[in-house]
Chain A
Amino acid sequence: MPLSDAVADLVRDGDEVALEGNSALIPFAAAHEVIRLRPRDLTLVRMSPDLVYDQLVGAGCARKLVFSWAANPVLGVTGSLHRLQDALVNAWPAPLEIEEHSHAGMTARYVAGASGLPFGMLRGYAGTDLPQYTASVATVRCPFTGEELDAVSALNPDVAIVHAQRADKSGNVQFRGAGGMQREAVLAARRSLVTVEEIVDELSPVPDATVLPSFAVTAVAHAPGGAAPSAADGFYDRDDEAYRAWDEISRDRTRFGLWLEGIRVEGTDTV
């Protein structure tokens, strides 16, 4: 299915959308299709929002962000996603609500969602300020020991969009490389789209690869280079220069506006 058709079919105004990935296999091409679709009021979910969510927030597609660590991974640290910063500090181009967790919390939420459970459990939030600002955190008492633990509500996004190395013609998907929560996001979501580097007649077993069978995926789209400038193990490395270049584009509303126009009008994916 062409990528633009798949995105248009699956993403609707007001949806909760998870474009997952870890430090690699980030679905950039699909994110840019989402920008071209111009949806409104999305809730964007992702453990480590980086450039793609900076872009979607700057483009005015999002109402809310659910996340656990937000930064440009090449520059690291503070204030390196300027569109996010602008939305949170100055409400530009629109106010952005946030719901934040730790990585472990987001992981537990996806696992619960993928497993058909209403919540996940962990220990890490005790004593932190996070629960008082995050409605999806509560405590639960262990029925066996009486111990009090942190409970986090399950994540069940309307749509999950992820990128993988390859799929076969039946839509079975194969991932390689250090994993994020891509498979859990797809299994937790109501609808899902997997973009892939290549579509082959038959998947051959690869050491360390993980799979999603076709019945667990709504749509597969062929998008070679679709994770660039992030890495796709076996196809290309991360383009650190592009991540650095994003800092200059993102820093300035006018430059970002020009970039956005390029994405929308010309359909050229520069970053």
Chain B
Amino acid sequence: MTTLDRPTTDAGSWTSDEMLAVAAARTVRAGQACFAGAGLPARAAELARRLHAPDLLLVHDDGRLGELGAVSLPELFGYWIQSGRVDVGLLSAAQIDVFGNLNTTVLGDYAEPDLRLPGSGSAPEIAASCREVVVVMRHRLPAFVERVDFVTSVGFGAGPLDRAMLGLRGGGPRQVITDLGVLEPDPDSAELRLTAVHPGVRVEQVRAETGWPLEVSEDLVVTDAPTPHELAALRSVMTGSGS
């Protein structure tokens, strides 16, 4: 596991998980319909709602559409998700590969697993049909692999033309937000490459936690540090206070 120094600015110090949540929340835009998976994605979506997107419509996999009410599950998966009416899907996974494919099914061999993971849930349809996907996960070597053990949810398959060939209507992964930085698909190869590092993180550190030869964008930037406002909102999400 990587241990990060806690960067200190006039906002005080923050943890790498807090930087991750803030960076992920910034990708969500006001007015969007958003599906957020359990854990880190749900935390990021809730933070966005409290910061800059109070009108974010959170679509839940029990059929609730924000606070507007609930629809049945056939309606949710058919009319709302498969039809492409959800703008952004925030997903996490146990493994991600160079093409942004996600594994939440199994580690090791399918028939004789090393570890059985929860499975597909709503993720395959979110990955297939949302206008865009933002992946939110901690950047660690066992999770960032050249090829996932099982493709639960499709990113770019094995190359830039695969989504179109498979008939997937959504745009696929736009960004991968980690606790070290941001990866984005290369427009030509669809391979994920590093486009931003968080304050205090070195490129070599990110490479050491990535299981494929990680390309770095010529326009690499450093993420803006969390503001005091963002950190206060995040900490109120974490403790379940505020609204």
A binds B: yes
Binds B, one of A65-73, A164-172, A250-258: A65-73
Contact B82 A104 (CB under 8 A): yes
Contact A68 B119 (CB under 8 A): yes
B90-119 near A? 1/0 per residue, CB < 8 Å: 000010000000000100001011111111
A66-100 near B? 1/0 per residue, CB < 8 Å: 01111100001111000011001100000000001
Contact A68 B38 (CB under 8 A): no
| Interface residues in A139-183 (C-beta closer than 8 Å to B) | 147-148, 178-181
Point out the residues of chain A lying under 8 angstroms from B39, CB to CB.
76-77
Which listed residue, A79, A85, A123, touches B82 by the CB 8 Å rule?
A: A123
In the assembled complex, A135 has its CB within 8 A of some CB on chain B: no
Q: How large is the interface on B (under 10, 10 to 19, 20 to 34, 35 or more residues)?
A: 35 or more
Contact A128 B124 (CB under 8 A): yes
Closest to B155 in A: A127
Contact A178 B118 (CB under 8 A): no
Which listed residue, A69, A79, A89, A147, touches B120 by the CB 8 Å rule?
A: A69
User: Given known contacts A76-B38, A104-B82, A111-B74, is B63 in contact with A178 (CB within 8 Å)?
Assistant: yes
Contact A180 B167 (CB under 8 A): no
Most A CB contacts (10 A, CB to CB) among B69, B74, B122 go to: B74
Closest to A47 in B: B73
Q: In whole angstroms, what is the CA distance A104 to B120 when docked?
A: 10
Most B CB contacts (10 A, CB to CB) among A23, A111, A127 go to: A127
In the assembled complex, B121 has its CB within 8 A of some CB on chain A: yes
Point out the residues of chain B lying under 8 angstroms from A191, CB to CB.
none
Contact A124 B128 (CB under 8 A): yes
Count of chain A residues with a beta carbon within 8 Å of a chain B beta carbon: 43
Q: In whole angstroms, what is the CA distance A89 to B115 when docked?
A: 7
Point out the residues of chain A lying under 8 angstroms from B124, CB to CB.
102, 104, 124-125, 128, 130
Point out the residues of chain A lying under 8 angstroms from B64, CB to CB.
178
Contact B82 A124 (CB under 8 A): yes
Binds A, one of B21-29, B51-59, B145-153: B145-153
- Looking at chain A's contact residues, is the secondary structure mostly helix, strand, loop, or mixed? loop
User: Given known contacts A78-B94, A180-B73, is B63 in contact with A122 (CB within 8 Å)?
Assistant: no
B157 to chain A, nearest CB (A): 5
Point out the residues of chain B lying under 8 angstroms from A127, CB to CB.
151, 154, 157, 162-163, 166, 168
Contact A129 B38 (CB under 8 A): no
In the assembled complex, A195 has its CB within 8 A of some CB on chain B: no
Contact B125 A69 (CB under 8 A): no
A149 to chain B, nearest CB (A): 8
Q: In whole angstroms, what is the CA distance A208 to B69 when docked?
A: 9
In the assembled complex, A133 has its CB within 8 A of some CB on chain B: yes
Closest to A177 in B: B70
Contact A103 B121 (CB under 8 A): yes
In the assembled complex, B62 has its CB within 8 A of some CB on chain A: yes
Which listed residue, A70, A77, A122, A179, touches B38 by the CB 8 Å rule?
A: A77
A188 to chain B, nearest CB (A): 12
Please list the residues of chain B having a beta carbon within 8 angstroms of any beta carbon in chain A: 38-39, 60-64, 69-70, 72-74, 77-78, 81-82, 94, 105, 110, 112-125, 128-129, 150-154, 157, 162-163, 166-169
Please list the residues of chain A having a beta carbon within 8 angstroms of any beta carbon in chain B: 22-23, 48, 67-71, 76-79, 84-85, 88-89, 100-105, 107-108, 111, 122-130, 133, 147-148, 178-181, 184, 208
Closest CB pairs A-B (n = 6): A69-B121, A124-B125, A104-B77, A102-B120, A127-B154, A71-B118
